Amino acid sequence: MVYKIRDLSKKFGKHYALKNIDLDINENEKIVIIGPSGSGKSTLLRCLNTLEIPTNGKILYHDMRLTEHTYKNVQGKIGMVFQNFQLFDNLTVIDNLTLAPVLNKIMSKEEAYETAKEYLKQIHLEDKENTYPRNLSGGQKQRVAIVRTLMMNPEVILFDEPTSALDPEMIEEVLTLIMEVSKKNITMIVVTHELKFAYDFATRVIFMDKGKIVEDGEKEQIFNNPKTERLQKFLSNIK
Ligand SMILES: Nc1ncnc2c1ncn2[C@@H]1O[C@H](COP(=O)(O)OP(=O)(O)OP(=O)(O)O)[C@@H](O)[C@H]1O
Ligand SMILES: [Mg+2]
């Protein structure tokens, strides 16, 4: 088991962004989370990565409780990809890729450089090594951001709407890379509105609404045979 989440709630002021979430996530699962705006998808991912600390309940990561005191133990093991890339604007592509693995002593400088070059070749950006993020397209930035998480050999990667800031013609190249990454033995959780991708990628789909998990099941069941009216309505709205 990678995550064991019990009775997780997160409040902002008086408002519950997450309410009484119970969830188990196993190794190598490929999960898509869907749900309307404000349903708590980002907050859940941020709790899984200790970017938010729960108000109530607990999150166990391989039996270790995630808190503000233990988060250091999971740094690097849990990667995150954001809608707005979050590359270091003042660093070149190669420095963006090599910084964390070298700082965290996961690789030597030489090893990190060689590994980064190999990844850049795989995503057809070998000529962008010394380019700054501002001179990349959105799709290129996001592919670099994804490869940056891979440089840390993560056990888990969380993707929060990785393609929603991209022009339509760049969405495909990013989704293709995520599909490619999914062949690896990495637990992946992706928040997305791209239903075709979700169908190809996911082994399991979670539908959230108002801070709760409303449905959780195999993709065939969720997409072809939704149990709740709420999910039926949501799906017909985005199709
Ligand atoms: N830092 C914060 N401070 C106050 N309220 C917040 C904060 N972060 C999230 N919220 C609130 O918590 C609820 C859940 O937000 P969250 O961002 O998790 O939703 P979401 O499902 O990711 O939505 P979207 O699809 O728009 O990204 C919303 O009502 C939001 O306004
Ligand atoms: Mg969100």
pLDDT in tens, 55-81: 999 999 999 999 988 888 888 899 999
**Does the beta carbon of 35 lie inside 6 Å of ligand 1?**
yes
Q: Give the model's pLDDT for residue 22.
A: 98
Question: What are the DSSP calls for 151-217, one per residue?
Answer: TT--SEEEEESTTTTS-HHHHHHHHHHHHHHTTSS-EEEEE---HHHHHHH-SEEEEEETTEEEEEE
* Whole-prediction pTM: 0.96
CA 37 to ligand 2 centroid distance, Å: 7
pLDDT < 50: residue spans in the chain: none
Phi-psi region of 190 (alpha: psi -120 to 50; beta: other; left: phi over 0): beta
21 lines ligand 1 (CB under 6 A): no
Measured from the alpha carbon of residue 33, the closest ligand is 1
Ligand 1 nearest-atom number relative to CA 208: 21
pLDDT at position 76 = 86
Q: pLDDT tens digit string along 115-136?
A: 999 999 999 999 999 999 999 9
| pLDDT score of 36 | 97
Residue 204's pLDDT is what?
98
Pocket residue to mutate for ligand 1, from 16, 34, 43, 238, most atoms within 8 A of Cβ? 43
